[in-house]
Amino acid sequence: MLDSKVPAGPLAEKWSNHKFNLKLVNPANKRKFTIIVVGTGLAGASAAASLAELGYNVKTFCYQDSPRRAHSIAAQGGINAAKNYQNDGDSIFRLFYDTIKGGDYRAREANVYRLAENSVKIIDQCVAQGVPFAREYGGLLDNRSFGGAQVSRTFYARGQTGQQLLLGAYSALNRQIKKGKVKSYTRHEMLDLVVIDGHAKGIITRDLVTGKIEAHEGHAVLLCTGGYGNVFFLSTNAMGCNVTAAWRAHKRGAFFANPCYTQIHPTCIPVTGDHQSKLTLMSESLRNDGRVWVPKTKELAEKLRKGELGPNDIKEEDRDYFLERKYPSFGNLVPRDVASRNAKEVVDEGRGVGKTGFAVFLDFADAIKRMGEETVRAKYGNLFDMYQKITDENPYEVPMRIYPAVHYTMGGLWVDYNLMTTIPGLYCLGEANFSDHGANRLGASALMQGLSDGYFVIPYTVGDYLAGLGSFAPVDKNHPAFEETRKNDRR
Amino acid sequence: MSVGTYTFRYSTLHTQFIIDMSKHMNLTLKVWRQKNQNSEGKFVTIQANNIADDMSFLEMLDVVNEDLTRKGEDPIYFDHDCREGICGMCSLVINGRPHGPNERTTTCQLHMRSFHDGQTIVIEPWRAAAFPVLKDLAVDRSAFDRIQQAGGYINVNTGGVPDANAIPIPKRIADEAFESATCIGCGACVAACKNASAMLFVSAKVSQFALLPQGQTERYERAQAMVDQMDKEGFGNCTNTGACEAECPVGIKLTNIARLNREYFTAKIFRQEDVHA
Ligand code: SF4
Ligand code: FES
């Protein structure tokens, strides 16, 4: 029943052929169409800016006070691209393969191949916008390897890559706002989707300042609203990421795929108590040098929890470096899901540490001995400072405590190859859709997907739908569906 | 927020670990309450009892709000989102200091252990003519967006750009541009300044692009457009007191302002053709 619309032909030619076969809207007609973009993170801001550049009228909506606050901003690690600048054997096919494998072979291959193809263009685009990526002394872009990849293909801006990429997309968006091609609605929350004759034709929003409930019409609606991590009680998502938009779209008939595919990130700062409002992630690069352990016995763990013993009182022979013990070849660098599962297991056995018992140690004592405190500080200083700010413990002296947390959702609204949901005219981009990461996302691929969808996929595919509408008439604002949907939301 | 649910879930399963592990304190809050943009605001005294020292400042306000809601009163409205110090949405002047007493720390990253039992805490919104109060502690910072819209970008369309490694950029320059680019757009610099100047914020963006080769083409127009917009929004003049740098949660430096001044005056003194000649 579902038609993915994946084009025929060899993997490497699908996207080029498809782009050629998609219908175009001629430049003079683009300005007759209005596109609604909900969410201004990497996917939303890049889509809105790119579509406005093409000539479409765009309306963007975000619940924050500025488009720049979207939670893409909090991504730390980096963004993958198959540039092969390091001459270490990377290629589009290898990035495709690693992504597919990382997702346990459950992602849609055609989408992932396209993602890997687009990855190289993303870096070019961001650099042209003035995104200050890390560089080597020779002035060329620096790369690091990430999440167990065998090649160095991750571009980064210290531990703030998401921030820099988002501010780049925000600047492109601002340029179009200035030109009058984008109208930006801030402090507006999407409450519902307006569907007319089976097609998405608008949204209902609440103005978070005045409380006013309003209807907005458009020829297509793009949901770029992020994942559903906050359906769990605590996650690393921002406080306002509440999945309303995707959920309401689902209630209106958009299919939802793979909701169980949730990424649990192993290196979060643990919960402290009932008052906790959200969790803070620390980059998993910490596992490059930190060693994960808990005491061998429940009794010792109990004493640690009660504060009768400190972590440094536990003798070497009483420590269980469980990842090193169980996975000698990977050690502490096992994939995210393995590290998370094992941490939970030892905690369930009663060997968890910290006041609450919901934590394992991440110990840098050996790294400090080996490299010296200064080197460790240079590498992880920011993260150590952040940890100390939150926990009031000095990780140079006592081991950090970490615990897994919900971080990213691979599942989402079902989309076809054009990123259209099962409701014609309703598209879904970035983390909010389900298509590119299978059962587990490769590190440094979230930013890549958001920007690929926004900069390089939707500008092609949305035109095909609009050209197929067969009319340039504005959406009828007075259609009863708007009032009906709006009424529905006065609850 | 369903803090109640959470308490139930956790404390039934793991009571022995969770309950009463932290130090607690009682505080007196003097909070700015204002119904909306058009009404007058005033300080209201609210008691915050049994606050754990490992709560964040905003979690303390969450708890106070739970209490107010239970009593049928209007919760205190404040801006926040990421709660990890990067989105720039949280604000608050706490005991006279934007983002509170700790250096290089946003309000959302501030923890209650920085306060003590019995303390009185005064909580106000950012105060600046260009940042009107919307409700209680939240202000309208859209002026910042408009300044960015005036010129905070490089004029490139999606696609058709050169290879990312086509222009090597010395690491020193790239690093410096990055430092300027880390501004989170919170507005603490404006709140800290006795003139409510937005120079630190504007200079951070102007500097990022003035340093990078990609930003050269429109370097001077950019400085001029952003400064003009800043003036139009009603931000005050910079008199070099340095309060902004002291309160900036990410450490944006005053040297950025010096660079902005150079850019701006170069733009003013010479006509564009002369500058590029
Ligand atoms: S310069 Fe600093 S204080 Fe001012 S907006 Fe930027 S981050 Fe906030
Ligand atoms: S809430 Fe995002 S910086 Fe404080």
A407, A436, A457 - which closes a domain: A407
Judged by CB atoms closer than 8 Å, whether chains meet at B82 and A390 is answered as: no
What are the two backbone dihedrals, phi and then psi, of residue B185, each rounded to the nearest 5 degrees?
A: 65, 35
* Cα B198 from Cα B210, distance rounded (Å): 18
Domains identified in chain A, total number: 2
Q: Rounded CA gap, A233 and B195, in Å?
A: 43
pLDDT (tens, 9 = 90+) of chain A, 491 residues, equals 899 999 999 999 999 999 999 999 999 999 999 999 999 999 999 999 999 999 999 999 999 999 999 999 999 889 999 999 999 999 999 999 999 999 999 999 999 999 999 999 999 999 999 999 999 999 999 998 887 688 999 999 988 999 999 999 999 999 999 999 999 999 999 999 999 999 999 999 999 999 999 999 999 999 999 999 999 999 999 999 999 999 999 999 999 999 999 999 999 999 988 899 999 998 888 998 999 999 999 999 999 999 999 999 999 999 999 999 999 988 998 888 899 999 999 999 999 999 999 999 999 999 999 999 999 998 888 889 889 989 999 999 999 999 999 999 999 999 999 999 999 999 999 999 999 999 999 889 999 999 999 999 999 999 999 999 999 999 999 999 999 999 886 54
CA nearest to A463, candidates A19, A49, A40: A19
pLDDT in tens, B15-65: 334 444 678 999 999 999 999 999 999 999 999 999 999 999 999 999 999
Contact A18, A417 (CB under 8 A): yes
Structural domain ending residue among the three candidates A389, A407, A425: A407
Q: A348: which 2 tokens? A: 């369930």
Q: Could you tell me the sign of the dihedral formed by the alpha carbons of A462, A467, A469, A473, in that order?
A: positive
B128 CB less than 6 Å from ligand 1? no
The reply to whether A4 falls in a domain is: no
Kindly report, residue by residue over B143-171, the tens digit of the pLDDT. Answer: 999 999 999 999 999 999 999 999 999 99
The CATH number of the domain where A340 resides is what? Answer: 3.90.700.10
> Chain B within 8 Å of A85 (Cβ-Cβ)?
yes
Cα(B250) to ligand 1 centroid in Å equals 7
Same domain, A403 and A420: no
Question: A125 and B159: CB-CB below 8 Å?
Answer: yes
* CA atoms of A99 and A108, how far apart (whole Å): 10
Q: Where are the beta strands (DSSP E) in B35-156?
A: 42-52, 93-94, 97-98, 120-124, 133-135, 138-139
Cα A209 to Cα B153: distance, rounded to the nearest angstrom: 29
How many A from CA of B105 to the centre of ligand 1? 12
Of B51, B113, B47, B106, residue with least CA distance to B78 = B106
- At residue A288, the pLDDT reads 87
Exposed e or buried b per residue across A84-103, where buried means at least 16 C-beta atoms within 10 angstroms of its C-beta: bbeeeebebebbbebbbebb
Residue A6 lies in a domain: no
- Nearest C-alpha of chain B: how many angstroms from A72? 9
What is the DSSP pairing of strand A57-61 with strand A220-223?
unpaired
Which two three-digit tokens encode residue A5?
A: 């619309």
Which of A407, A437, A454 is a domain's end point?
A: A407
| A126 part of contact set with chain B, CB < 8 Å | yes
B-chain residues within 8 Å CB-CB of A308? none
Q: What class, spelled out in words, does domain B6-133 have in CATH?
A: alpha beta
CATH number at residue A415: 3.50.50.60
Whether residue A124 sits in one domain with residue A22: yes
- At residue A53's C-alpha, the angle toward residues A474 and A35, to 5°, is 30
Domain boundaries, chain B: 6-133, 142-158+166-276
| Closest chain B C-alpha to A322 CA, distance in angstroms | 23
**Rounded Cα distance, B139 and B203, in Å:** 22
In-domain check, residue A178 = yes
Checking B6-13 for CB contacts under 8 A at 24+ apart, the result is: B6/A233, B6/A234, B6/A274, B6/A276, B7/A274, B9/A233, B10/A274, B11/A274
A contacts of B109 (beta carbons < 8 Å): 386, 389-390
**Index of the ligand 1 atom closest to the CA of residue B198:** 4
| Burial (Cβ within 10 Å: 0-12, 13-18, ≥19) of residue B93 | buried
**Domain shared by A156 and A237, yes or no:** yes
Q: Is B252 in the pocket of ligand 1 (CB under 6 A)?
A: yes
> In which domain, by residue range, is A466 found?
12-261+410-488
Please tell me whether residues A355 and A439 are part of one structural domain.
no
Whether residue A465 contacts residue A131, with contact meaning beta carbons closer than 8 Å, is answered with no
* Cβ contact B214–A209 (<8 Å): no
- Tell me whether domains B6-133 and B142-158+166-276 share a fold: no
Give pLDDT, residue B273. Answer: 54
Q: ipTM value, please give it.
A: 0.95
Check residue A167 and give its pLDDT.
98
Tell me the residue type at A181. Answer: K
Query: CA nearest B86 in A: which residue?
Result: A74
Q: Whose CA is nearest to atom 1 of ligand 1?
A: B201
β-pair type (A57-61, A182-185) = parallel
Residue with CA closest to ligand 1 atom 6: B183
Chains A and B form CB pairs within 8 A to the count of 223
Is A182 in CB contact (< 8 Å) with chain B? no
Q: Please tell me the distance between residue B89's alpha carbon and the centre of ligand 2 in angstroms.
A: 5
Residues of A in contact with B10 (CB under 8 A): 274
Cross-chain residue pair B84–A280, CB shorter than 8 Å: yes
Q: Is-contact B145 B233, C-beta < 8 A?
A: no
Topology at the third CATH level for domain B142-158+166-276: Fumarate Reductase Iron-sulfur Protein; Chain B, domain 2 (1.10.1060)
Q: Which residues of chain B have a CB within 8 Å of the CB of A275?
A: 3, 52, 55, 59, 62-63
Separation of A377 CA from ligand 2 center, angstroms?
25
Asked if A129 lies within 8 A of B82 by C-beta distance, the reply is no
Cβ distance B141 to A65 under 8 Å? yes
C-alpha B93/C-alpha B134 separation (Å) is: 15
Same domain, residue pair A229 and A370: no
Q: Does A164 touch chain B (CB under 8 A)?
A: yes
Both A285 and A254 in one domain: the answer is no
- CB proximity under 8 Å: A 416-445 to B: none
A1 in any annotated domain:
no
Question: What SS3 state is found at A268?
Answer: strand
Mean pLDDT over residues B185-204, rounded?
Answer: 98
